Structure 1
Protein backbone atom coordinates (compact mmCIF):
# COMPACT_ATOMS: atom_id res chain seq x y z
CA UNK A 1 0.00 0.00 0.00
CA UNK A 2 1.42 3.37 -1.02
CA UNK A 3 1.93 5.90 1.75
CA UNK A 4 -0.02 9.11 1.22
CA UNK A 5 2.05 12.28 1.62
CA UNK A 6 0.67 15.81 1.80
CA UNK A 7 1.95 19.30 2.47
CA UNK A 8 0.21 21.71 4.84
CA UNK A 9 0.77 25.41 4.25
CA UNK A 10 -0.24 28.63 5.95
CA UNK A 11 -0.16 32.30 4.99
CA UNK A 12 2.13 34.13 7.41
CA UNK A 13 3.72 37.50 8.06
CA UNK A 14 0.34 39.17 7.81
CA UNK A 15 0.43 40.94 11.18
CA UNK A 16 -1.32 38.30 13.27
CA UNK A 17 1.81 37.36 15.20
CA UNK A 18 1.07 33.64 15.58
CA UNK A 19 3.93 32.36 13.41
CA UNK A 20 5.86 30.80 16.30
CA UNK A 21 2.79 28.66 17.06
CA UNK A 22 2.10 27.84 13.40
CA UNK A 23 5.57 26.80 12.23
CA UNK A 24 5.77 23.48 14.15
CA UNK A 25 2.43 22.48 12.61
CA UNK A 26 3.02 23.19 8.90
CA UNK A 27 5.43 22.04 6.21
CA UNK A 28 5.41 25.09 3.94
CA UNK A 29 4.56 28.75 4.40
CA UNK A 30 3.61 31.71 2.24
CA UNK A 31 5.20 34.95 3.46
CA UNK A 32 3.45 38.26 2.83
CA UNK A 33 5.96 40.50 1.08
CA UNK A 34 4.50 43.99 1.25
CA UNK A 35 1.55 44.01 -1.13
CA UNK A 36 -1.32 43.32 1.26
CA UNK A 37 0.72 43.01 4.46
CA UNK A 38 4.26 42.61 5.69
CA UNK A 39 7.48 44.61 5.65
CA UNK A 40 11.21 43.94 5.87
CA UNK A 41 11.08 43.24 9.61
CA UNK A 42 8.23 40.73 9.42
CA UNK A 43 9.79 38.98 6.44
CA UNK A 44 13.12 38.57 8.25
CA UNK A 45 11.46 37.34 11.44
CA UNK A 46 9.25 34.80 9.68
CA UNK A 47 12.10 33.54 7.49
CA UNK A 48 14.14 32.77 10.62
CA UNK A 49 11.23 30.90 12.20
CA UNK A 50 10.65 28.89 9.02
CA UNK A 51 14.35 28.11 8.75
CA UNK A 52 14.47 26.92 12.37
CA UNK A 53 11.56 24.52 11.78
CA UNK A 54 12.60 23.29 8.34
CA UNK A 55 9.50 24.78 6.71
CA UNK A 56 9.59 25.41 2.95
CA UNK A 57 9.29 29.11 2.15
CA UNK A 58 7.11 30.71 -0.50
CA UNK A 59 6.39 34.28 -1.56
CA UNK A 60 2.83 35.51 -1.09
CA UNK A 61 2.47 38.54 -3.39
CA UNK A 62 -0.74 40.47 -3.77
CA UNK A 63 -2.39 43.37 -5.45
CA UNK A 64 -0.64 46.39 -3.85
CA UNK A 65 -3.58 47.12 -1.57
CA UNK A 66 -3.00 47.06 2.17
CA UNK A 67 -6.22 48.99 2.76
CA UNK A 68 -8.32 46.02 1.60
CA UNK A 69 -5.79 43.36 2.68
CA UNK A 70 -5.46 42.34 -0.96
CA UNK A 71 -8.98 40.95 -1.01
CA UNK A 72 -10.41 43.41 -3.56
CA UNK A 73 -9.71 43.30 -7.29
CA UNK A 74 -7.71 46.34 -8.41
CA UNK A 75 -8.04 47.93 -11.83
CA UNK A 76 -4.31 48.19 -12.45
CA UNK A 77 -2.40 48.05 -15.77
CA UNK A 78 -0.74 44.69 -16.37
CA UNK A 79 2.73 46.29 -16.59
CA UNK A 80 2.23 48.00 -13.23
CA UNK A 81 0.95 44.78 -11.69
CA UNK A 82 3.96 42.87 -13.01
CA UNK A 83 6.32 45.45 -11.52
CA UNK A 84 4.56 45.39 -8.16
CA UNK A 85 4.59 41.60 -7.89
CA UNK A 86 8.21 41.49 -9.06
CA UNK A 87 9.24 44.00 -6.39
CA UNK A 88 7.39 42.07 -3.69
CA UNK A 89 8.92 38.71 -4.58
CA UNK A 90 12.41 40.11 -5.09
CA UNK A 91 12.29 41.85 -1.72
CA UNK A 92 11.57 38.52 -0.06
CA UNK A 93 14.29 36.81 -2.12
CA UNK A 94 16.85 39.37 -0.92
CA UNK A 95 16.09 38.43 2.69
CA UNK A 96 16.15 34.72 1.82
CA UNK A 97 19.60 35.16 0.27
CA UNK A 98 20.83 36.81 3.47
CA UNK A 99 19.44 33.89 5.49
CA UNK A 100 21.04 31.35 3.10
CA UNK A 101 17.75 29.70 2.23
CA UNK A 102 16.01 29.39 -1.13
CA UNK A 103 12.59 30.31 -2.44
CA UNK A 104 10.52 27.16 -2.82
CA UNK A 105 7.31 28.51 -4.34
CA UNK A 106 5.07 31.45 -5.16
CA UNK A 107 1.45 31.60 -4.13
CA UNK A 108 -0.55 34.72 -5.06
CA UNK A 109 -2.76 36.14 -2.31
CA UNK A 110 -6.46 36.85 -2.05
CA UNK A 111 -8.11 38.57 -4.99
CA UNK A 112 -5.01 38.09 -7.15
CA UNK A 113 -5.09 34.32 -6.54
CA UNK A 114 -8.81 34.05 -7.26
CA UNK A 115 -8.65 36.24 -10.37
CA UNK A 116 -5.62 34.41 -11.81
CA UNK A 117 -7.59 31.18 -11.52
CA UNK A 118 -9.98 32.39 -14.22
CA UNK A 119 -8.47 35.44 -15.96
CA UNK A 120 -5.89 34.56 -18.62
CA UNK A 121 -4.29 38.03 -18.64
CA UNK A 122 -3.80 38.20 -14.88
CA UNK A 123 -2.54 34.62 -14.84
CA UNK A 124 -0.16 35.55 -17.65
CA UNK A 125 1.42 38.30 -15.54
CA UNK A 126 2.32 35.79 -12.84
CA UNK A 127 3.56 33.25 -15.38
CA UNK A 128 5.82 35.82 -17.04
CA UNK A 129 7.28 36.79 -13.67
CA UNK A 130 8.20 33.19 -12.85
CA UNK A 131 9.68 32.71 -16.33
CA UNK A 132 11.96 35.70 -15.67
CA UNK A 133 13.71 33.93 -12.78
CA UNK A 134 16.94 32.08 -13.49
CA UNK A 135 16.06 29.33 -11.01
CA UNK A 136 13.09 26.95 -10.78
CA UNK A 137 10.19 27.99 -8.53
CA UNK A 138 7.03 26.02 -7.86
CA UNK A 139 3.69 27.73 -8.32
CA UNK A 140 0.81 26.86 -5.97
CA UNK A 141 -2.35 26.75 -8.08
CA UNK A 142 -5.96 25.54 -7.83
CA UNK A 143 -6.95 22.44 -9.76
CA UNK A 144 -8.49 23.01 -13.21
CA UNK A 145 -7.63 26.72 -13.13
CA UNK A 146 -6.50 28.97 -15.97
CA UNK A 147 -3.21 29.69 -14.20
CA UNK A 148 -2.53 25.96 -13.83
CA UNK A 149 -3.16 25.44 -17.53
CA UNK A 150 -0.81 28.29 -18.50
CA UNK A 151 1.89 27.14 -16.11
CA UNK A 152 1.85 23.63 -17.55
CA UNK A 153 2.07 25.03 -21.10
CA UNK A 154 5.10 27.10 -20.06
CA UNK A 155 6.84 24.22 -18.27
CA UNK A 156 6.53 25.87 -14.87
CA UNK A 157 6.40 23.28 -12.07
CA UNK A 158 3.07 23.43 -10.24
CA UNK A 159 1.68 22.08 -7.01
CA UNK A 160 -2.09 21.80 -6.82
CA UNK A 161 -3.48 23.51 -3.74
CA UNK A 162 -6.78 23.18 -1.93
CA UNK A 163 -8.10 25.01 1.11
CA UNK A 164 -8.58 23.11 4.33
CA UNK A 165 -10.60 25.83 6.06
CA UNK A 166 -12.70 27.08 3.13
CA UNK A 167 -15.87 25.71 1.54
CA UNK A 168 -16.21 25.21 -2.21
CA UNK A 169 -18.81 25.92 -4.88
CA UNK A 170 -19.64 23.33 -7.55
CA UNK A 171 -17.24 24.99 -10.04
CA UNK A 172 -14.38 24.56 -7.51
CA UNK A 173 -14.32 28.27 -6.73
CA UNK A 174 -14.21 29.24 -3.07
CA UNK A 175 -17.40 30.33 -1.35
CA UNK A 176 -17.22 34.12 -1.00
CA UNK A 177 -16.06 35.44 2.34
CA UNK A 178 -19.22 37.55 2.28
CA UNK A 179 -21.20 34.34 2.88
CA UNK A 180 -21.66 32.93 6.39
CA UNK A 181 -20.58 29.45 5.30
CA UNK A 182 -17.30 30.52 3.64
CA UNK A 183 -15.06 29.32 6.47
CA UNK A 184 -14.86 25.95 8.19
CA UNK A 185 -14.60 26.38 11.96
CA UNK A 186 -15.14 22.86 13.30
CA UNK A 187 -12.12 20.54 13.61
CA UNK A 188 -14.09 17.43 12.64
CA UNK A 189 -15.61 19.12 9.59
CA UNK A 190 -12.18 20.34 8.55
CA UNK A 191 -10.65 16.88 8.82
CA UNK A 192 -13.46 15.28 6.81
CA UNK A 193 -13.09 18.04 4.21
CA UNK A 194 -9.34 17.43 3.80
CA UNK A 195 -9.49 13.64 4.14
CA UNK A 196 -12.03 13.41 1.32
CA UNK A 197 -9.72 15.37 -0.96
CA UNK A 198 -6.62 13.36 0.02
CA UNK A 199 -8.09 9.86 0.08
CA UNK A 200 -10.89 10.04 -2.47
CA UNK A 201 -9.78 13.05 -4.58
CA UNK A 202 -13.20 14.62 -4.20
CA UNK A 203 -14.51 17.68 -2.38
CA UNK A 204 -17.99 18.02 -0.97
CA UNK A 205 -19.38 21.37 -2.10
CA UNK A 206 -21.94 23.51 -0.30
CA UNK A 207 -24.64 22.03 -2.55
CA UNK A 208 -23.73 18.55 -1.29
CA UNK A 209 -22.12 17.37 -4.53
CA UNK A 210 -18.86 15.38 -4.57
CA UNK A 211 -16.66 17.07 -7.19
CA UNK A 212 -13.34 15.60 -8.41
CA UNK A 213 -10.29 17.57 -7.25
CA UNK A 214 -6.55 17.13 -7.04
CA UNK A 215 -4.35 18.68 -4.37
CA UNK A 216 -1.03 18.00 -2.71
CA UNK A 217 -0.79 21.07 -0.48
CA UNK A 218 -3.59 22.19 1.83
CA UNK A 219 -3.87 25.71 3.21
CA UNK A 220 -5.09 26.78 6.62
CA UNK A 221 -5.22 30.57 6.66
CA UNK A 222 -2.86 32.02 9.23
CA UNK A 223 -5.25 34.89 9.94
CA UNK A 224 -7.99 32.43 10.94
CA UNK A 225 -8.41 32.99 14.72
CA UNK A 226 -8.73 29.22 15.13
CA UNK A 227 -5.78 28.34 12.88
CA UNK A 228 -3.54 26.86 15.58
CA UNK A 229 -6.32 24.74 17.09
CA UNK A 230 -7.45 23.52 13.67
CA UNK A 231 -3.92 22.65 12.57
CA UNK A 232 -3.13 20.70 15.73
CA UNK A 233 -6.26 18.62 15.31
CA UNK A 234 -5.77 18.13 11.57
CA UNK A 235 -2.19 16.91 11.98
CA UNK A 236 -3.16 14.36 14.63
CA UNK A 237 -6.06 13.01 12.57
CA UNK A 238 -4.00 12.76 9.38
CA UNK A 239 -1.21 10.97 11.23
CA UNK A 240 -3.78 8.56 12.69
CA UNK A 241 -4.74 7.74 9.09
CA UNK A 242 -1.06 7.10 8.23
CA UNK A 243 -0.90 10.19 6.04
CA UNK A 244 2.53 11.82 6.19
CA UNK A 245 3.03 15.59 6.29
CA UNK A 246 6.20 16.66 4.51
Structure 2
Protein backbone atom coordinates (compact mmCIF):
# COMPACT_ATOMS: atom_id res chain seq x y z
CA UNK A 1 0.00 0.00 0.00
CA UNK A 2 1.38 3.43 -0.91
CA UNK A 3 1.81 5.75 2.05
CA UNK A 4 -0.17 8.52 0.39
CA UNK A 5 -3.18 6.28 -0.10
CA UNK A 6 -4.25 6.41 3.54
CA UNK A 7 -3.94 10.17 3.62
CA UNK A 8 -6.77 10.54 1.13
CA UNK A 9 -8.92 7.63 2.32
CA UNK A 10 -11.47 10.06 3.69
CA UNK A 11 -12.11 11.24 0.12
CA UNK A 12 -12.74 7.64 -0.94
CA UNK A 13 -15.13 6.00 1.51
CA UNK A 14 -17.25 4.95 -1.43
CA UNK A 15 -14.32 3.14 -2.99
CA UNK A 16 -14.83 0.25 -0.60
CA UNK A 17 -18.34 -0.08 -1.99
CA UNK A 18 -17.53 0.80 -5.59
CA UNK A 19 -18.16 -1.50 -8.49
CA UNK A 20 -15.06 -0.07 -10.16
CA UNK A 21 -12.37 -1.23 -7.72
CA UNK A 22 -11.77 -4.92 -8.33
CA UNK A 23 -8.04 -5.05 -7.60
CA UNK A 24 -5.24 -2.96 -6.12
CA UNK A 25 -4.05 -1.72 -9.52
CA UNK A 26 -7.49 -0.36 -10.33
CA UNK A 27 -7.73 1.18 -6.86
CA UNK A 28 -4.44 3.01 -7.36
CA UNK A 29 -5.56 4.27 -10.75
CA UNK A 30 -8.88 5.42 -9.27
CA UNK A 31 -7.11 7.22 -6.44
CA UNK A 32 -4.86 9.13 -8.82
CA UNK A 33 -7.81 10.17 -10.99
CA UNK A 34 -9.84 11.34 -8.00
CA UNK A 35 -6.94 13.30 -6.54
CA UNK A 36 -6.17 14.94 -9.89
CA UNK A 37 -9.81 15.95 -10.23
CA UNK A 38 -9.94 17.18 -6.63
CA UNK A 39 -6.81 19.29 -7.06
CA UNK A 40 -8.46 21.02 -10.02
CA UNK A 41 -11.57 21.66 -7.95
CA UNK A 42 -9.47 23.17 -5.17
CA UNK A 43 -8.40 25.95 -7.52
CA UNK A 44 -11.99 27.10 -7.90
CA UNK A 45 -13.46 26.38 -4.47
CA UNK A 46 -12.35 26.06 -0.89
CA UNK A 47 -11.64 22.49 0.18
CA UNK A 48 -11.48 21.67 3.90
CA UNK A 49 -8.52 19.38 3.29
CA UNK A 50 -6.65 21.40 0.69
CA UNK A 51 -3.51 21.14 2.82
CA UNK A 52 -3.17 17.39 2.19
CA UNK A 53 -0.46 16.58 -0.38
CA UNK A 54 -1.58 14.77 -3.51
CA UNK A 55 -1.16 11.04 -4.09
CA UNK A 56 2.19 11.26 -5.88
CA UNK A 57 3.93 13.66 -3.49
CA UNK A 58 2.44 12.63 -0.13
CA UNK A 59 5.17 10.13 0.68
CA UNK A 60 7.97 12.50 -0.27
CA UNK A 61 6.58 15.74 1.17
CA UNK A 62 4.27 14.92 4.07
CA UNK A 63 5.82 11.59 5.04
CA UNK A 64 2.68 10.54 6.93
CA UNK A 65 3.17 7.91 9.59
CA UNK A 66 0.92 4.90 9.09
CA UNK A 67 -0.75 3.87 12.33
CA UNK A 68 -2.59 0.74 13.35
CA UNK A 69 -6.19 0.82 14.47
CA UNK A 70 -7.33 1.84 17.93
CA UNK A 71 -10.45 2.65 19.94
CA UNK A 72 -11.77 5.08 22.51
CA UNK A 73 -14.67 7.24 23.67
CA UNK A 74 -15.83 10.29 21.73
CA UNK A 75 -15.33 13.50 23.70
CA UNK A 76 -16.04 16.11 21.01
CA UNK A 77 -17.59 16.02 17.52
CA UNK A 78 -17.87 18.66 14.83
CA UNK A 79 -19.18 18.25 11.29
CA UNK A 80 -17.62 20.52 8.67
CA UNK A 81 -17.10 20.47 4.94
CA UNK A 82 -18.62 17.01 4.56
CA UNK A 83 -16.23 15.53 7.12
CA UNK A 84 -16.37 14.57 10.78
CA UNK A 85 -13.73 15.84 13.20
CA UNK A 86 -13.72 14.09 16.56
CA UNK A 87 -11.58 14.13 19.67
CA UNK A 88 -11.41 10.59 21.03
CA UNK A 89 -10.03 9.58 24.41
CA UNK A 90 -7.95 6.40 24.11
CA UNK A 91 -5.94 4.41 26.64
CA UNK A 92 -2.89 6.53 25.79
CA UNK A 93 -4.68 9.87 25.84
CA UNK A 94 -6.90 12.07 23.64
CA UNK A 95 -6.38 12.12 19.86
CA UNK A 96 -7.99 14.05 17.02
CA UNK A 97 -9.52 12.00 14.21
CA UNK A 98 -10.84 13.12 10.82
CA UNK A 99 -13.06 10.88 8.68
CA UNK A 100 -15.76 11.01 6.05
CA UNK A 101 -18.98 12.30 7.54
CA UNK A 102 -20.01 9.77 10.19
CA UNK A 103 -23.01 9.42 12.47
CA UNK A 104 -21.18 9.44 15.81
CA UNK A 105 -22.09 11.23 19.01
CA UNK A 106 -20.32 12.41 22.15
CA UNK A 107 -20.05 9.58 24.65
CA UNK A 108 -20.09 6.77 22.11
CA UNK A 109 -17.31 4.20 21.97
CA UNK A 110 -15.73 3.99 18.54
CA UNK A 111 -12.94 2.07 16.84
CA UNK A 112 -11.03 2.53 13.59
CA UNK A 113 -8.66 0.63 11.39
CA UNK A 114 -5.35 1.85 9.95
CA UNK A 115 -4.94 5.58 9.51
CA UNK A 116 -2.32 8.17 8.61
CA UNK A 117 -1.16 10.82 11.04
CA UNK A 118 -0.58 14.35 9.71
CA UNK A 119 1.22 17.03 11.68
CA UNK A 120 0.56 20.78 11.65
CA UNK A 121 -2.56 20.27 9.52
CA UNK A 122 -4.82 23.28 8.94
CA UNK A 123 -8.51 22.75 8.26
CA UNK A 124 -10.00 25.59 6.24
CA UNK A 125 -13.53 24.43 7.03
CA UNK A 126 -12.88 24.79 10.77
CA UNK A 127 -10.28 27.55 10.46
CA UNK A 128 -8.22 25.57 12.91
CA UNK A 129 -4.77 24.00 12.95
CA UNK A 130 -4.09 20.61 14.52
CA UNK A 131 -0.60 19.76 15.81
CA UNK A 132 -1.50 16.12 15.05
CA UNK A 133 -4.55 14.57 13.47
CA UNK A 134 -5.24 11.04 12.22
CA UNK A 135 -7.04 10.54 8.91
CA UNK A 136 -9.18 7.41 8.66
CA UNK A 137 -11.83 6.14 6.24
CA UNK A 138 -14.63 5.75 8.81
CA UNK A 139 -15.51 5.21 12.46
CA UNK A 140 -16.85 1.89 13.73
CA UNK A 141 -19.39 2.43 16.49
CA UNK A 142 -19.05 -0.17 19.23
CA UNK A 143 -22.00 -1.43 21.21
CA UNK A 144 -25.27 0.42 21.38
CA UNK A 145 -28.50 -0.41 19.62
CA UNK A 146 -27.59 1.29 16.36
CA UNK A 147 -30.24 2.54 13.93
CA UNK A 148 -33.17 0.54 12.66
CA UNK A 149 -35.90 0.96 10.11
CA UNK A 150 -38.17 -0.63 7.51
CA UNK A 151 -36.94 -1.36 3.98
CA UNK A 152 -39.28 0.33 1.53
CA UNK A 153 -37.30 -0.34 -1.65
CA UNK A 154 -34.20 -2.29 -2.57
CA UNK A 155 -31.92 -2.88 -5.55
CA UNK A 156 -29.17 -5.44 -6.10
CA UNK A 157 -26.32 -4.37 -8.38
CA UNK A 158 -22.70 -5.39 -8.97
CA UNK A 159 -22.54 -7.36 -5.72
CA UNK A 160 -24.07 -4.67 -3.51
CA UNK A 161 -27.46 -3.91 -2.00
CA UNK A 162 -28.92 -0.43 -2.19
CA UNK A 163 -31.69 0.00 0.36
CA UNK A 164 -34.18 2.79 0.94
CA UNK A 165 -35.07 2.61 4.62
CA UNK A 166 -37.72 4.45 6.63
CA UNK A 167 -36.50 5.27 10.15
CA UNK A 168 -38.01 7.22 13.04
CA UNK A 169 -36.12 10.32 11.90
CA UNK A 170 -36.76 10.05 8.15
CA UNK A 171 -35.88 8.05 5.06
CA UNK A 172 -32.26 7.16 4.31
CA UNK A 173 -30.41 5.27 1.57
CA UNK A 174 -27.91 2.57 2.50
CA UNK A 175 -25.28 0.75 0.44
CA UNK A 176 -23.70 -2.46 1.70
CA UNK A 177 -22.33 -5.79 0.45
CA UNK A 178 -25.15 -7.82 -1.10
CA UNK A 179 -27.58 -9.42 1.32
CA UNK A 180 -30.95 -11.15 0.90
CA UNK A 181 -33.51 -8.50 1.71
CA UNK A 182 -37.18 -7.90 0.92
CA UNK A 183 -39.34 -4.82 0.99
CA UNK A 184 -40.99 -4.64 4.38
CA UNK A 185 -38.07 -6.22 6.26
CA UNK A 186 -36.97 -4.52 9.47
CA UNK A 187 -33.20 -4.06 9.69
CA UNK A 188 -30.66 -2.59 12.10
CA UNK A 189 -27.14 -1.28 11.49
CA UNK A 190 -24.36 0.46 13.41
CA UNK A 191 -22.14 3.26 12.16
CA UNK A 192 -21.40 4.11 8.56
CA UNK A 193 -20.05 6.89 6.37
CA UNK A 194 -22.19 9.34 4.45
CA UNK A 195 -21.51 10.30 0.84
CA UNK A 196 -23.34 13.14 -0.84
CA UNK A 197 -24.12 13.36 -4.56
CA UNK A 198 -22.89 9.80 -5.08
CA UNK A 199 -23.45 8.34 -8.54
CA UNK A 200 -23.78 4.59 -9.00
CA UNK A 201 -22.84 3.64 -12.55
CA UNK A 202 -24.40 0.20 -12.30
CA UNK A 203 -27.75 1.68 -11.25
CA UNK A 204 -27.32 4.83 -13.34
CA UNK A 205 -28.64 6.72 -10.34
CA UNK A 206 -27.36 9.65 -8.30
CA UNK A 207 -28.09 9.74 -4.57
CA UNK A 208 -28.27 13.11 -2.84
CA UNK A 209 -27.16 11.30 0.31
CA UNK A 210 -26.29 7.66 0.91
CA UNK A 211 -24.73 5.85 3.87
CA UNK A 212 -22.13 3.17 3.23
CA UNK A 213 -22.26 0.48 5.91
CA UNK A 214 -20.42 -2.80 6.35
CA UNK A 215 -23.47 -4.93 7.18
CA UNK A 216 -27.05 -4.90 8.42
CA UNK A 217 -28.97 -7.23 10.72
CA UNK A 218 -32.41 -8.44 9.71
CA UNK A 219 -34.61 -8.32 12.79
CA UNK A 220 -36.55 -11.38 13.86
CA UNK A 221 -39.85 -9.60 13.74
CA UNK A 222 -39.29 -8.71 10.09
CA UNK A 223 -42.36 -9.36 7.98
Provide TM-score, normalisation by structure 1. 0.28
More strand as a share of residues: 2
Provide TM-score, normalisation by structure 2. 0.30
More helix as a share of residues: 1
**Greater CA radius of gyration, 1 or 2?**
2
Query: Which has the higher relative contact order, 1 or 2, with Cα contacts under 8 A spaced 6 or more apart?
Result: 1
